[in-house]
Structure 1
Amino acid sequence: MGNSYSNILPLGTPRRNGISGPSTSSTTLEESGEAQPSSLTPIRQTSRRRKLTTDCSECEFKTPEPVVKRAKLDTPKYIYQKLFLEGAKSDVTIRALGMSWHLHKLYLEQCDYFAALFSERWGAEKKRVYELDVLDSRVNIPGLDNVFASLYQNEIEIDLDNIGGVLASASMINLLVVIQRCDDVMVETMNGSNVLEYLELASAYGCQTTREAAMVLLERMFWKYSQDPAFLKRLSYDTLVEVCARRDLCICEGEKDLYHAIRRWFYIRSKNELDCPDSDLSKYFNSQPEHHFYKYHLLLKNVRFQHMITSKRTMEKLKHDHLIGADMLDTMMKDLWNTLLVNEDKNEVSSFFSSEEVTDDFFYSHCRRLGRHLEEGNKCWRWAGYDFGLDLVVRCQFRTVYLIRNFSRDHGLFQLSVRKLTRIHYRMVILNASGQVLLDSGRKMCELALDEKEIVGSVSTDLTNVSIHLFYLASVPGPSADKYWTAIESPGPSEVKNEV
């Protein structure tokens, strides 16, 4: 048996706490054991000097009744043992997958599927043997056994190794309460090793809570999970597209990490090999026609290539890999040059940042996405690459995170476009190793002078084995990434899926 979950369900016979009859005793017993007069016993009081007396004739016939000991009967356990396991007084037999269950219509009718099956509309109210036609390959005998058992008791045991079988079985007979419990269990036990399985189950059986939880976990931890070739092999094209299109996708280091993850996914799915050294990847992509990967534009348009082409080495690699064509790369270079000229014009910059507030849609579609994994706290770093004269530094110190606009007169890389005051729209997210949020600053805006810092926030635990993800916009941006793919004609979905 694998790990299992047990929880109370509103199914089967309700548990009774014992049997008690009406109280007829006219005398109650305190903890001391002494009899106390009750309101049913007549009490007569004489003059002040006379003693309190009672009617002796009544005392002779009315004696305290003994205290009744009430024993609690475990009725659900008895019902489960006798009726389900032993099949006592069974009035119906259910057959499926070569197995027979001797059950009871009264209990099965808790499920709408069997209530309809046993109704007169089907002319089967007197039928005693039913053969279930199982079409779903996930339905199995342990799953059906668990689901049938839940109708006889107020709990269900879910083996995590067979949660798919339980969910499929419950869905087959439309037992909603078990489906809901499976939904809850998958959310509670979700991690990197089962998130893709749970996502597939949730999509197949309509478990929306699990599906959204899986997508949130993937958007936070894809940068980490994608380093495992086995994970990439199990990842479907549709799921990869959906993850990369998420607004809150957390990236580590920069866009190049997302780019390399997609490269590995293409290679693994094409070659069916988990070992993918960079030399083999380069040969594979260089051997493809220039526009071969344009059919996957729904995926590639989520990579912000325009944020990668800030070095000659990156430019050469993009040309070599053929994920995007030379014509698209040239267009990006022209737009980048135009963006540089715009940010050199103080009037253009001032006009952009003094206009209406930057909307969420604009911010998340144009912002730079960066990140870093920290094994221990008290670190200070910058991300390499040209950013229109902005040298943005992150410092983690004593559980507090700072954004610093660094300025060094000896650092020639950042001398271009130096402005006295820079407005920065940003959001920072700090995650632990499991993908739980330690800090989410939300969208903020600050104005930093040279060498000025902004306190982003503090966390309640040490910054050990965490990842820090930064979304920011500090200059007038160029076109969004999807603009370059609008003219690409989309192939049919089957064409893409068949190839990958």
Structure 2
Amino acid sequence: MGNSLNYFNSRENNKAERVSGNKRKRDECPELNNAGLELLNTPKRKRIKSTSKYIYQTLFLDGENSDVTLHVLGQEWKLHKLYLKQSPYFASMFSGAWKESDMPRIELDIIDENITCEALKIAFGSLYKDDVFIKPVQLTSVIATATLLQLEGLLLQCQVMMKDTLSSATVCDYYYASCSYGLKDVSIQCLDWLTRNILIAANLTFIKDVTADLMKTVIASPHLVVIQVEIDLYTLLKKWIFLIHNKSWTGDNKDLVKATDLFYKEKQSECPGLCYLETDEGRQYVPVFSAVRWHHVVNDLTSLRMIENEKILPHSWLEPMFLYGWRRVLAVEQGHDKGPIEKVDNEVFNTCCARFGRLIHKAGEYCWRWIGYSYGVDLLLSITSGRLVTVKRNTHTQACSQAVSLQDQRYIAYRLTICSFDCDGKELSRKSTDVKHISLGKDEEEIALVLDSDQKFPISVSMNVLLISPGQEPLPGLKYPNR
């Protein structure tokens, strides 16, 4: 007993000594002590099998313990009412007085042609797990399915994805889908993309999918980025019509110019004596051409000659523009109009302004004017010191090929917008002056905008300008038959 007791006492003493020794070591090494405590309190992430994945595989894909079978588009889905009730569509079906509420097998008639089996799998599957994987090409059909099943969460995910993947390859499909299914934010963003990119896209073949109604909306927009001047919209519409009638055509923008010219020459030989818009084929496009601001086209001789030679739009249709323009010239030259002295309402400004633009690929010093008669105001736009964007009324300091007004003051209204964008045309930054009303003396210059010190390029420079007072009479339109 005593030996045993001594043994236990000895063992306890040794243990106490070891513990005491360890304690001393820890006390003597505070760094080790702190590191150990930190390690003990640092959470470790260990991936284990996801409950969500298990549910998706076992219940959705394998259909275990299914209590309802849906027959849709020739395919059967063994599902569960508990999960389906997350959809208001099925919640109403299973909880109301509908005959389907107690049926083990339900057949759904699908009218919307955009709904596919692939989209149904994504939509039904989203009820069994909290993440979904959708390809951009599937978005329209998934949106159609989510709209039918009233899956707001899935619709929201689709909208975010549409905004993230917007490009020339997707913009038309996304626009039509958003209009069909009431996704207003997406349709606005698509329209904004088109107004910024339709004249600067690296490859224009995507415009073959732009409908006449959509093209008219884009062309009529006061926020359209016109590169360079209004006549370039006429050139765009020529290419658009060619691509509509040659949807399989492929090539770059240079080849497109040649192919378009050849297309209209062939049309002339088929219908001699008629301009293209007078033919049965071309007449449908007249409303789109009417959206061009022709009163800003006829003030340039080169543009007029091009229209006459190409015989797409009859020259006689432009007669109202000549009369309107001549009256405005007389008002300016005889001193009755010095520009918009009174503040112009934004709606009036947006309707009457001339639209100009330029694409700048890299930082540097720039100074330019746009072509066309400008009622005696030689307006120069400059980027100086790499950042300052200025507007100048030139009278003496730089040579000008047209007559310049020497009135002491001329009044103008303008809006300047500068955007940078990525390779898909998504906007990276935007600066705008809103509508400004200013008076400029001879050779007077003012700073319009200051670019950021880290400004990204390329940038589009879009300027809307009103050089003359808006008249009381309505703006002239094309004088085509039955008008």
Q: TM-score, normalised by structure 2?
A: 0.78
- Distance in structure 2 (CA, Å) of the matches to 1:331 and 1:479: 16
Q: CA deviation at 1:75?
A: 4.2
**Helix, strand or coil for the counterpart of 1:456?**
strand
- Distance in structure 2 (CA, Å) of the matches to 1:260 and 1:478: 28
Matching of residue 441 in structure 1 with residue 433 in structure 2:
yes
Query: What aligned pairs does 1:278-317 form with structure 2 within 5 A after superposition?
Result: 279-284=261-266, 286=268, 289-290=274-275, 291-292=278-279, 293=282, 295-317=284-306
Match of 2:22 in 1: none
- Distance in structure 2 (CA, Å) of the matches to 1:319 and 1:262: 16
Match of 1:483 in 2: 476
**Helix, strand or coil for the counterpart of 1:431?**
strand
Q: Is the 8 A contact 2:300 2:371 kept in 1?
A: no
Q: CA deviation at 1:230?
A: 1.7
Distance 1:466 1:480, change over 3 A: farther
From 232, 254, 258, the equivalent of 2:229 is 254
Gaps of 5+ in 2: 1-45, 250-255
Q: CA deviation at 1:285?
A: 6.0
- Distance in structure 2 (CA, Å) of the matches to 1:489 and 1:482: 18
1:250-298 CA-partner distances (Å, limit 9, x unpaired): 1011011111001111222235563451531441564552444565343
The one-letter code sitting in structure 2 at the alignment partner of 1:444 is: K
Match of 2:446 in 1: 454
**Helix, strand or coil for the counterpart of 2:102?**
coil
Q: CA deviation at 1:376?
A: 1.7
More helix by share: 2
Q: Is the 8 A contact 2:354 2:466 kept in 1?
A: yes
Distance 1:230 1:465, change over 3 A: same
**Helix, strand or coil for the counterpart of 1:483?**
coil
**Helix, strand or coil for the counterpart of 2:380?**
strand
What is the total number of aligned residue pairs between the two structures?
Answer: 418
Match of 1:327 in 2: 316
Q: Is the 8 A contact 1:285 1:322 kept in 2?
A: no
Q: CA deviation at 1:334?
A: 2.5
Distance 1:480 1:133, change over 3 A: farther
Match of 1:242 in 2: 217
**Helix, strand or coil for the counterpart of 1:252?**
coil
Match of 1:379 in 2: 366
**Helix, strand or coil for the counterpart of 1:450?**
coil
Match of 2:328 in 1: 339
Q: CA deviation at 1:448?
A: 1.6
- Distance in structure 2 (CA, Å) of the matches to 1:272 and 1:159: 24
Match of 1:166 in 2: 142
1:320-358 CA-partner distances (Å, limit 9, x unpaired): 344443333233222222211111122x115x634x421
The one-letter code sitting in structure 2 at the alignment partner of 1:314 is: S
Distance 1:412 1:379, change over 3 A: closer
From 393, 404, 408, the equivalent of 2:396 is 408
- Distance in structure 2 (CA, Å) of the matches to 1:241 and 1:412: 35
Moved over 6 A (4+): 478-481
Q: CA deviation at 1:153?
A: 2.4
Q: TM-score, normalised by structure 1?
A: 0.76
Matching of residue 363 in structure 1 with residue 349 in structure 2:
yes
**Helix, strand or coil for the counterpart of 2:125?**
helix
Q: CA deviation at 1:396?
A: 1.1
Task: State the identity %.
Answer: 26
From 152, 156, 163, the equivalent of 2:128 is 152
- Distance in structure 1 (CA, Å) of the matches to 2:80 and 2:376: 77
Stretch deviating more after TM superposition (381-390 or 308-317): 308-317
Stretch deviating more after TM superposition (117-126 or 105-114): 117-126
Matching of residue 220 in structure 1 with residue 196 in structure 2:
yes
Match of 2:29 in 1: none
**Helix, strand or coil for the counterpart of 1:88?**
coil
Stretch deviating more after TM superposition (214-223 or 180-189): 180-189
- Distance in structure 2 (CA, Å) of the matches to 1:482 and 1:463: 38
1:150-180 CA-partner distances (Å, limit 9, x unpaired): 1122333333232223212212323233223
- Distance in structure 2 (CA, Å) of the matches to 1:345 and 1:316: 28
Matching of residue 135 in structure 1 with residue 111 in structure 2:
yes
- Distance in structure 1 (CA, Å) of the matches to 2:158 and 2:108: 22
Distance 1:242 1:168, change over 3 A: same
**Helix, strand or coil for the counterpart of 2:206?**
helix
Match of 1:186 in 2: 162
Matching of residue 94 in structure 1 with residue 94 in structure 2:
no
Superposed CA RMSD: 2.9
Match of 1:66 in 2: none
- Distance in structure 2 (CA, Å) of the matches to 1:338 and 1:202: 45
